[in-house]
Amino acid sequence: MDEPTLFTKIIRGDIPSSMVAEGNEWYAFLDINPHRPGHTLVVPKEQAQRISELSVDSRRALMDGIIEVQRRLSIEFETTDFSVNLNDGPLAGQEVPHVHFHVIPRAPEGTQRPLWKPPGDSTEPDFSLLAELAERLQAH
């Protein structure tokens, strides 16, 4: 068995996270350094670095997870539009070696709520705001 990745430790609950939703094969939680409010990571419970290494069941379920996360974020952020990004391997900018889709709600410029840090802002994440948002998203 490979060493557990950071995201496997999060899925197991060994490291805390702000959960958004969960399925049998996937787990979704708020990114601690959100590019925009609601920035969520959707990860397979199966540990793999690239989507090509995932089992068929796991990669299919992952798309269900993305859609479920979008459903919750659309209620909270009143939008139907999202950036859905995958860095599939280190040369593509992947920092955590465990498949993760970034799901980021998009709204017209100037209407974003707070809870995101501009690029380059290295202050600590606001964990209480993340926890409050996660609680609302779990209820949607």
Per-residue mark of binding to ligand AMP, 53-92 (x: CB under 6 A)? ----------------------------------x-----
What are the start-end ranges of the E strands in 3-87?
A: 19-22, 26-30, 40-44, 81-86
CA pseudo-torsion sign 128, 134, 138, 140: positive
Q: How far is the CB of 19 from ligand AMP (least distance, A)?
A: 11
Q: How far is the CB of 27 from ligand AMP (least distance, A)?
A: 11
Of 30-38, 52-60, 61-69, 105-113, the segment contacting ligand AMP by CB under 6 A is 30-38
Q: Which of 39, 100, 102, 140 is catalytic?
A: 100
Per-residue mark of binding to ligand AMP, 115-134 (x: CB under 6 A)? --------------------
106 vs 42: CA distance, rounded Å: 17
Beta-carbon contacts of residue 18 (< 8 Å; ≥ 6 apart): 29, 30, 127, 130, 131, 133, 134
